[in-house]
Structure 1
Amino acid sequence: MLKQTSDPRPRVGITAVGSALPDAVLTSQSLLHEAARGLGRTLPPTLLAQATGIITRRVAADDEHASTFAVRAARRALAAASLDPHDIDLLLFASASRDMVEPATAHIVQAELGSNAHALDVTNACNSFINGIDLARVMIQAGRARRALVVTGETPSRAVRRAPADLAAFRDGFAGYTFGDAGAAVVLEAVERGGILDVDTETRSEHWDVGGIPGGGSRHPRGDDHTYFRGDGHELRGVFEKTGTSVVERTLHRNGLDWSCFAKVLVHQVTVPYLERFTELTGVPAEKLVITVPELGNIASASIGVQLEKAYEELLPGDRVLFVGLGGGISIMTMIWEKS
């Protein structure tokens, strides 16, 4: 059973969820064919699917942006909660992607929704969405907001080298071939029971340069070459394996829980081999996972939100869910949520 605390602050829970996906489907075989054409050489057609376990992913159309999927997911979440946009007084756009450097994409989302909440962006790579949920929870507990809408819209497919100049560029950007696009949203408010029960984090910033998209900031303000994802997938995986499992173990031990206490375990999904390795190292039963990566790829911070909507309706009041977030930088985050 969960260890009890005497926290005087109000309980805050997730009361509605929504997600959104682009219509366009891109297969790994087609993506690899594009890369091979750019290289001017033949590549094994099953190379990408075999290496990652990803068969397809959804990709945004030219007129779709990060805010597009955030707005669509937000409307689904608001409809599920029977709320109007004006019922929200805090709007957080929490994503690794954004429409532009300035202004905050939260304002673009808000203008489209027609709300007038306090709006701002939260950015921490693939942990952005969970960080946004945690920040909204704390602001509600502090009396700064009554009801929050946390949204993400991810378009990392725009950072994929579809036509690499040479094999070195292909290898450097290979981790990016896992990316797909999506959006997710949750409504948070005070609840009588359950809600977010525990949050834990671990940050290893000494690994910040292992992977990412270097362009758009003051270091590389211009130049298309800096707008592509580049990184060492094996090094990222090694850090996550070493650090992430210890955070999960710490969370379970601190709260006196084991895997039988959770209805679902939602973990950020990068590739199928990594997910399999995660289950091997942690011992989480495979049936507790909501697997999306083979058909959607790595959808960055939207990963846990999309999984949550898939599982939400089958969850009963009192069911507990463990979120396990992994983000470049590098950060690991766990959150225990109980459905009210």
Structure 2
Amino acid sequence: MPKQMSDPQQQVGITAVGSLLPDEVLSSDRLQQEVAGSSGFALPPTLLKQATGIVTRRIADEGTFASTLAVGAARRALAAAELDPLDIDLLLFASASRDMVEPATAHIVQAELGSRAHALDVTNACNSFVNGIDLARVMILAGRARRALVVTGETPSRAMHRAPAGFAEFRSGFAGYTFGDAGAAVVLEAVERGGILDVDSETYSEHWAVGGIPGGGSRHPRGDEYTYFRGDGRELRGVFEKAGTAVIDRTLHRTGMEWDSFAKVLVHQVTVPYLERFAELTGVPAEKLVVTVPELGNVASASIGVQLERVYGELCPGDRVLFVGLGGGISIMTMIWEKS
């Protein structure tokens, strides 16, 4: 259970943020009609919308890739920071999605941006982006980088089985119908005050097989049937409910903070019922949350980045934000950040 309270004499903070959403909007009702029409079985009206609380999501078109969304978000973050790509000396592509197995998508992003930074991928399902922020922070503290750009480009909608062979296949891939696409990026560098104050995480790898996209690796290198998301949504939710609250309780106890200590609480959002259950179990006040899932669906590791971009301009120096990351595998992560 790695955890760390930062040395107040050495602080690294987020100094700019950007996000990007694809133009195409796909409603849950239209998606359900498409799935039922292509598969030939009937579904209760508005099933997807009622079960998930997701009304719409954004979908990347055929010419838009994970790197495309990451580059767009990165350019916005760099513009907000008034930086050139050559001002960055560490570039992390931290995402559950990628353009291809090899090379690392970070190199594709770097080539598009025109940066010369040390570039690599960080992958840990929907926790990838928060893990990337933490890794960038540690590398800056270690003197390996001066200024980092952490980006994510998520296209999980391509793992959505729009033409399942039957109801059983539809059910096994149901969690995939929550997906939407998005990109996000943050700039990290040394700050004189505030910054990332605390990081904690816990991993329950015995549950790694509960859900995921099995194709593309050495186990299933070929075969379209392995490219779709499969998982037991109820089991995933059960693990998160038990594990997630323990990490949050530990973080609050160790830091001496309470919910009133935070201007906002940004939590990875899968469905509306998941988010409501999170609020119920943790006691976080509803006004602290930045709710995006009804509009955008589950945008994987871009979730927290998109939320942060939406509230960043409203935050004042000294405001603290709690990030709560949840990822398949299964991992839980908290991060406390104070705006400089």
* C-alpha RMSD of the superposition: 1.1
> By how many angstroms is 1:43 displaced?
1.6
> By how many angstroms is 1:45 displaced?
2.6
Aligned to 1:292: 292
SS state of the match for residue 93, structure 2?
A: strand
Aligned to 1:157: 157
SS state of the match for residue 326, structure 1?
A: strand
1: CA distance between counterparts of 2:161 and 2:153? Answer: 20
2: CA distance between counterparts of 1:228 and 1:43? Answer: 20
1: CA distance between counterparts of 2:39 and 2:309? Answer: 39
Contact 1:58-1:180 within 8 A present in 2 as well = yes
Contact 2:5-2:197 within 8 A present in 1 as well = no
> By how many angstroms is 1:44 displaced?
2.0
The one-letter amino acid of 1:217's match is G
1:298-317 alignment runs, 5 A limit: 298-317=298-317
Aligned to 2:259: 259
- String of CA shifts for 1:175-227, please: whole Å, max 9, x gaps: 00000000000000000000000000000000000000000000000000000
Query: Cα 1:203–1:68, aligned 2, differ >3 Å: closer, same or farther?
Result: same
The farther-off stretch of 202-211 and 8-17 is 8-17
- String of CA shifts for 1:58-82, please: whole Å, max 9, x gaps: 0000000000000000000000000
1: CA distance between counterparts of 2:53 and 2:304? Answer: 18
2: CA distance between counterparts of 1:289 and 1:110? Answer: 33
Aligned to 1:70: 70
Number of aligned positions between the proteins? 337
SS state of the match for residue 244, structure 1?
A: helix
Contact 2:93-2:106 within 8 A present in 1 as well = yes
Aligned to 2:37: 37
SS state of the match for residue 103, structure 2?
A: coil
SS state of the match for residue 152, structure 2?
A: strand
Aligned to 1:193: 193
SS state of the match for residue 266, structure 1?
A: strand
The one-letter amino acid of 2:56's match is T
Aligned to 2:282: 282
SS state of the match for residue 10, structure 2?
A: coil
Contact 1:19-1:185 within 8 A present in 2 as well = yes
SS state of the match for residue 17, structure 2?
A: strand
> By how many angstroms is 1:5 displaced?
6.7
Aligned to 1:133: 133
> By how many angstroms is 1:105 displaced?
0.1
- String of CA shifts for 1:151-195, please: whole Å, max 9, x gaps: 000000000000100111000000000000000000000000000
> By how many angstroms is 1:6 displaced?
8.2
Contact 1:89-1:145 within 8 A present in 2 as well = yes
Contact 1:33-1:45 within 8 A present in 2 as well = no
* Runs ≥4 residues deviating over 6 A: none
Contact 2:41-2:167 within 8 A present in 1 as well = no
2: CA distance between counterparts of 1:183 and 1:313? Answer: 18
1:204-215 alignment runs, 5 A limit: 204-215=204-215
Q: Structure 1 residue 326 and structure 2 residue 321: aligned?
A: no
Aligned to 2:176: 176
1: CA distance between counterparts of 2:271 and 2:281? Answer: 16
Contact 2:6-2:197 within 8 A present in 1 as well = no
Using the size of structure 1 for normalisation, the TM-score is: 0.98
> By how many angstroms is 1:46 displaced?
0.6
2: CA distance between counterparts of 1:167 and 1:269? Answer: 26
The one-letter amino acid of 2:285's match is P
SS state of the match for residue 313, structure 1?
A: helix
The one-letter amino acid of 1:133's match is I
Using the size of structure 2 for normalisation, the TM-score is: 0.98
1: CA distance between counterparts of 2:268 and 2:198? Answer: 18
Contact 1:133-1:150 within 8 A present in 2 as well = yes
Query: Cα 1:194–1:8, aligned 2, differ >3 Å: closer, same or farther?
Result: closer
Query: Cα 1:6–1:324, aligned 2, differ >3 Å: closer, same or farther?
Result: closer
1: CA distance between counterparts of 2:40 and 2:259? Answer: 49
> By how many angstroms is 1:9 displaced?
5.9
SS state of the match for residue 208, structure 1?
A: helix
Aligned to 1:83: 83
> By how many angstroms is 1:7 displaced?
2.6
Gaps in structure 1 of 5+ consecutive residues: none
Identity %: 82
SS state of the match for residue 209, structure 2?
A: coil
Aligned to 1:228: 228
Aligned to 2:11: 11
Gaps in structure 2 of 5+ consecutive residues: none
The one-letter amino acid of 1:278's match is F
Contact 2:88-2:147 within 8 A present in 1 as well = yes
SS state of the match for residue 201, structure 2?
A: strand
